[in-house]
Chain A
Amino acid sequence: QKEVEQDPGPLSVPEGAIVSLNCTYSNSAFQYFMWYRQYSRKGPELLMYTYSSGNKEDGRFTAQVDKSSKYISLFIRDSQPSDSATYLCAFDRGSTLGRLYFGRGTQLTVWP
């Protein structure tokens, strides 16, 4: 079983839609939960990270973590064409080493 599972999509939605992106994980040692956005041929950029179960909101983005189910989500409200990118979930054990474990990414297209 892979430590991180993420549906690669592709996901295509109209502008203004609510987008839901999800990942599951199996490693109970993961303590930090992150979402990165990656535009084509660019490096990943950190969108949000959370430490505990619950919700965290930042503008149009909401990150949700359910540690009991080992499930994390990213919601994008009022999606825009500029949100079209690959979204990567990532996990950190919180050790001093800081290696990140990534999902394979979900490719999102928001069409006008």
Chain B
Amino acid sequence: DTGVSQDPRHKITKRGQNVTFRCDPISEHNRLYWYRQTLGQGPEFLTYFQNEAQLEKSRLLSDRFSAERPKGSFSTLEIQRTEQGDSAMYLCASSPLQGVSTEAFFGQGTRLTVV
């Protein structure tokens, strides 16, 4: 297993455009998380899936953001009508359902730049 995979690694988009990111978790990891990290800050929680069910969403996840995890495998995060403030690193992490949730493995992230 090669770990958590995110695609694309970098995305430059014009303000107002929609973007979609993909995350492939470690196989058999039931838990999947999305975080956002801006320069000089720690990751901020966006949303959490257990299998295909989205169980928690942060207030940071405005109506322009939507995440899915069909069939409990890969996940997508879509941002509609992007704004310059959306520029950040979007991180995906996964962890097994058994055991403590602290063993979260992060992907390399997708760096979004909105121009």
The interface of chain A, by Cβ under 8 A from chain B, is 4, 6, 8, 32, 34, 36, 41-46, 49, 51, 88, 90, 92, 94-105
Contacting residues, chain B, for A36 (C-beta < 8 A): 106
Chain A residues near B55 (CB-CB < 8 A): 97
Whether the pair B56, A97 counts as a contact (CB closer than 8 A) is yes
Determine how close the nearest CB of chain A comes to the CB of B78; give it in whole angstroms: 20
A93→B31 CA distance, assembly (Å): 16
B45 interface residue (CB < 8 Å to A): yes
Cβ-neighbour of A46 out of B40, B45, B102 (below 8 A): B102
Considering residues B31, B41, B104, B108, which has the most beta carbons from chain A within 10 angstroms of its beta carbon? B104
Q: Which residues does chain B contribute within 8 Å of A101, judged by CB atoms?
A: 45
Q: How many residue-residue contacts, CB under 8 A, span A and B?
A: 74
Shortest A29–chain B CB gap in Å is 14
B4 CB-CB contact with A under 8 Å? yes
Residues from chain A with a CB closer than 8 A to the CB of B2 are none
What is the 8 Å Cβ interface bit string for chain B, positions 71-115, against chain A (1 contact, 0 not)? 000000000000000000001010100001111111111010000
Task: Please report the C-alpha to C-alpha distance between residue A81 and residue B105 in the assembled complex, in whole angstroms.
Answer: 24
Judge if B43 is at the interface, Cβ distance under 8 Å.
Answer: yes
**Is B102 touching A97 in the complex (CB atoms < 8 A)?**
no
